Each structure stands twice: as C-alpha cells, then as structure tokens.
Structure 1
C-alpha cells in the first residue's frame, strides 16, 4: 500500500504544469513585449538547469562498461546536447527522454508551453469568463478523450504523441482558469474541498488497483489517474486563489511554505541526482515504514542542495539577466520617444 501511494509522486509534475499556466496568465501584462516574456522565462529556468545538469552527468553517466540493470548510461555528447537545449522530451526513447538530468524532461514541456503562451493568450484574452470556462472544459474533455483512446488502441500512433503535446492541456487548463478569474469568476469551493480532491484521486487510484483490477470498466480507472488529477489540480488552485482574493490567509502562505515554494524549482532539478547518489553509496532501500529515517535524511540533504542552487545560482542569475533585458527595453523606449519628439 505504501509503495503504491509513493509511486504517485509523479503527479506533482501535473500540478506544476497546471499551476504554471495559471500563474503566468494571472500575472501577465499586455504591455510586456513578447521578447521580454521569452527572455524572462529563459532566465528563470536555464541557468539553474545547466548547473543541475553538470552535477547530474557524473552521477548518471559512465565511460566504463556498464553492468546490465544499472541505471548508469554510456556517455553520449550528442544526446546530452539535446538536454542543454531542452529538446529531449520530443523523443519517447528513454535514453533520450531521460538524458542528462532525468528530471529535466519536464523542462522541454515547459519550454514548449512558454513558446505558445503569448499566442494562446491572444486567443484567450478576448474571451469573457464564460468563454474561458468553456475552454477549460474543452481541454479537459480532450485530455480524457485522448487517454481513453490510448487505452482502447494501445498499439496505435496515439501512444507516440510527444510528451510536450500530450501535456499541453494541463497548461492550457491553468491558463483558462486564471483568465476566468481575472474576468471576475469567483468559484465557491472551500479550500479543503479543492485540496481534498487531490487526495481523493490518489485514494481512488490505490483502491482501484488493489480491489477492482479485475472488474471491467473499473480496472481502467488507474489509466485515467493523470487526467483525474489534472481536474483536481484545477479545483485546488482556483479554490485557494478565490480564498486569497477574499483576503483570507491559508497554511500555504506561512513563511516556511513560501520559502519552500521559492526553493521548489531547484528542489525538483536536484532531487533525483541526490537520490541516485544515495543509491550508489548505500544501495537500494525498500519502501517500508522501517526505512523512513533513510528517506527523511535524504529529504534534508535535497532541501539543503535546493537552497544552495536557488540562493547561489537560480535567483542571482535570473536577477542579472532580467536587469540586462530591462535596460535594453528601456533604452529602446527612450530612443523611440526621442525619435517621436524630434
């Protein structure tokens, strides 16, 4: 049971994709040049990604012969360069998909989402609240239809659709919900209901696997876990956002939660590397209550590494890169004003 619950940790990526679309759309300013938006996104993710990649290479790669069953990979500069430019997730081959820092495949999806965001926004902005909600419902329906199609025809070309395209509905859902709220929508969903829906999906998945694996219809529920969790993410995000807009505080606004949120991207980038360092040093530790001390210790190490990556790479690099672009934008505006007044 514990192992089944822990294996659902990958759903954190789903939450991040939905939240990313929501936050970027909620904070979007129409006067911001598209080039500046792209540069800020690049400054936000690439410097920390590169440092995390350099740390990961000696952990996951070897120049020596590799034993069968090892997680080590043969060094291949061409494949690693795909990770540098965030293109690795356009291939389903695990050697490419999980190349470099294995966690960084999601950055290929994010880079794709960032590239599309200004253009999706041009379609989204003219929509009123109802239109944005219809779009949200539409992308959810599409996501379920796609997953059901893959389940029904597992050998078809549908299973080979690249991950950035597969996961795009999650990002658009976040965008649509944010625009609906910017247009005045205030859902009456208690935060506990929103957060509880996340747990409910996990419980449903675990129960379905354990008790209904042989029941026609119900045995397909685990295959829809990501889509069900996507809906739950939307519910949780809008419930908490509406709660905050009413001037009410929540546990997630505490200082420690805010600080952990600031470190979260760095934590994501570095966590797999330190997990596999521990595997190389101590060997595999099975998921059991008696081994919680191992996981707690590893969590502390990951948090310290995340703090260091955020404090000494991510934050200072982003600030310097943003200041550089802001100065260029200001110089361009000053030159345009001078030309207009001449």
Structure 2
C-alpha cells in the first residue's frame, strides 16, 4: 500500500541542519578578537554545543521514522543497502574532497583521512579526532550502523503488538537513560554541568588562516586525546542506535493510529523545556538523552499533521526545497567555512559585526554549494542508479512504492 508523503518532515530537517550551522559558525569561524571577547562569551552561553547536538538527535530520530515509513515488507535487502550507500557516500566524498583541498590535509598520513572516507572513524577514539576531517561526517558513521541494522531488525519490530508500542517505546527510552547514567558513573570524563564546547584559541588578536580542527598542526599530531565519556556518549555509533529505533517505533505509532496528537505547541513546549534542562546536567546528558522523547513527539506530530492534511510552514515549497538540500548543506558547511577563512578571514581582525557578516557569507555559500551538489551529484546518481536491479532471494523480491522517497532524502546528519 502506498503511504502518504510527509513534506513537513522534509522541511523540518532544515531547522535541524541550520541549528548545527549556527553552532559551527560560532566556534569554527576563527574570527579574532571576537572569539576572545566578553561578547562571544555571552553569545556562547546562550548558544552552547547542545544546540548542534539537538539537531543531530533530531536527525537520528527522524532517520528511524522515515526509513520505517518508506520501507516495504518483502523489499530487497541488498537494494535497500545499495540505495542507502548511494544516498550517503557521493555527497560525503564531495565534501571530503573539498575539505582536503581547502585544509591542505596531508594525504601521506592515511590515519587522517582513510577512516573518515570509509566512515568508520568514530569507532576508535583516536580516529574520531585525527581522522575527523570534515567534522559533521561523524554522524554518518552512526547512520551506517542504523541502516545496517534496520532490515535485520524488522522481524523483531514486526512482532511488537500494536497495543505494546508504548511499552516498547518506554523500554528504549529507559535503555538510553541507562546507557548515559552508566557512562557518567563508570567512565572517565567531565562531571560538571558547564557548557565546555568553546573554540580552541591561538595567541594574538589577528584571525588565523585555519581553525584549529582544520590546521596542519592538528593533523600532524600523533595522538589527539578525547574524553572517553564524551566519545562514548556522543559519537560512538552503538550509543546512538536506540535513538534511531525510537524513531522507528514513533513511525509505527503514527501509522497504526496510536499517535493522534496534531497540535504542535505541546511537543514544541516539551522540547524547549528539555533543551533548557541541558544547562543544568552533566555533558553526558546534554547531548541527546534529555531530548529524545520530545524530539520523537515533534516528529510524530508533524507526520500526523501531514496525514490530517494540515499545511504549515514546514510543508511549504521553500522549506521542502531547503529540506531536500539539507544533507548536502550539513556536509558542506564546514568545508565552506575553511575556504572562507583561508581566503578572507585569516590575517584580519574582526569584531562581532565582522563575525556576523562572514557567518552570513558562509551560510549563503553553503546553501548554494548544497543546491549544486544536490542537483549535480545526488539527484542524477539516485535517478540513474538507485533503482538498478539487484538480485534478491526468493523470499525478498524487490518492491518499491511510487511514493516520493522520503527515506532517500534523510541521509543522516549529522554534526
């Protein structure tokens, strides 16, 4: 049976990607002396790391929702994997190449770029930092795991009775809470509640040619330590897997009529309250644990509104277009910032107005580059190869819905 399009979910993806951009522009555009000023400290107090992390949590939950929504029982599993790889890797490679050129990455040090190119770098703490390259690509490592597990988990998911969905949802939320409490209690890392994700500053009041994570000195280091609890709670793919399946269960609730709320105010209020609470909890809980439930509620409500025929801002044509390019935007924003820094920011001094101007320039250039990647790389490849016949077993013939491929537009984001 063909399922309805969910344009509001496509449009909402832009806000998540934009939240990531705002954080990155604040800490990854090395605008001096602005970043050493009291003005920066004040802004960063209200725009901490968990803003971008909230965008990533939204992407992970949304990914589970739309993958389940678009998947059909009996579909070819090899075809599913092929489409996921085709959606993720080409855009990732384009952004990685731009970053390598812009940052003059030393290709002789394979640990710097090979794990990133293969999207396995977050499985090892050292690779997470040294092989990080294009910073937002870390989330794709988790998405690869999500996609690998999804078809294999379908028999288990299908066994959950409709009237047990809320119980299963609650168990997953409890698993997420247990994971983060365990990391906090048992693994070394910061215990304070302060927002610690500030830029690493260099001496002087003149803007450097490289932000530290894109500098030759960064990639020349033999080892770049990372807090074990931070790595495990934020970037380690297995830790984020339950968030994906929260989205899967939310999709089942909507599809089977167990989520009927169509008012956005309650879930948005819950999300605002949960985000406010991130200021008073340790870092292990700032990044996702508090936000998963309200994010799932927002996603489910947006979908329910689409099914009810309620039009809103997120389902408008401009927002759907921004949502369509949001994956490319998410991936190309940091390389664009590196280019802008090398060509314009480095060697100069700017105050807040200067940072705001270059942030706006980076935004415009990132949107333009994302649109170009989407129409010149992503869409041609998907149209040409996504439905290429792949041999399937007699138990899994390939069947595809004529509905617009919502899942194909949710390649994972994503900080």
**TM-based fold match above 0.5:** yes
Q: Is 2:120 the counterpart of 1:87?
A: yes
1:180-329 → structure 2 map (5 Å cutoff): 180-188=253-261, 190-206=263-279, 208=280, 220=281, 223-225=284-286, 226-281=288-343, 282-283=345-346, 288=352, 291-325=355-389
| 48, 51, 58: which one aligns with 1:15 | 58
Q: Secondary structure at the match of 2:133?
A: coil
1:59-208 alignment, distance < 5 Å = 59-63=102-106, 75-93=108-126, 96=129, 98-155=131-188, 159=229, 161=232, 163-188=236-261, 190-206=263-279, 208=280
Q: Name the residue aligned to 2:34.
A: none
Of stretches 27-36 and 284-293 in structure 1, the one that deviates more from structure 2 is 284-293
Structure 2 vs 1, CA of residues 114 and 95 (structure 1 numbering), >3 Å: closer, same or farther? closer
Moved more, 54-63 or 176-185: 54-63
Q: Which structure's relative contact order is higher, taking Cα pairs within 8 Å and 6+ residues apart?
A: 2
Residues 140 and 289 (structure 1), Cα distance of their counterparts in 2 relative to 1, 3 Å cut: farther
Rg comparison, structure with higher value: 1
> What secondary structure does 1:202 align onto?
helix
Give the helix-richer structure, 1 or 2.
Answer: 1
- In 2, the alpha carbon distance for the partners of 1:55 and 1:158 equals 30
**Do the aligned residues in 1 keep the contact of 2:264 with 2:302 (CA within 8 Å)?**
yes
Which of 82, 90, 103 is the matching residue for 1:39?
82
Aligned partners of 2:99 and 2:338 also within 8 Å: no
Distance 1:55 1:303 in 2: 15
Unaligned runs of 5+ in 2: 1-41, 190-226, 399-415
Flag the 1:232–1:258 CA change in 2: closer, same or farther, 3 A: same
Deviates more, 1:43-52 or 1:288-297: 288-297
Q: Distance in 2 between matches of 1:28 and 1:197?
A: 29
Please tell me whether the aligned partners of residues 183 and 284 of structure 2 are also in contact (alpha carbons under 8 angstroms): no
Shift in Å, 1:122? 1.4
Contact 1:128 1:183 in 2 (8 A): no
Deviation by residue 1:280-328 (Cα, 9 ceiling, x = unmatched): 33049889477433222211111001111111011111221113237x6
SS at match of 1:325: coil
Cα RMSD (Å): 2.8
Q: Aligned in 2, Cα 1:279/1:186: closer, same or farther, shift over 3 Å? A: same
Distance 1:253 1:193 in 2: 19
Contact 1:39–1:325 (CA<8 Å) still a contact in 2? Answer: no
Q: 1:169 deviation in Å?
A: 1.1
- What secondary structure, in the 3-state scheme, does the structure 1 residue paired with 2:80 have? helix
Look up the match of 2:100: 57
Kindly tell me the number of residue pairs found equivalent between the two proteins.
310
CA contact (8 A) 1:124 1:132 kept: no
Task: Describe the shift of the 1:229–1:333 C-alpha distance in structure 2 as closer, same or farther (beyond 3 A).
Answer: closer
1:263-291 CA distance string (max 9 Å, x none): 01100110111122223330498894774
Give ranges in structure 1 of 5+ residues lacking alignment: 64-73, 209-219, 335-342
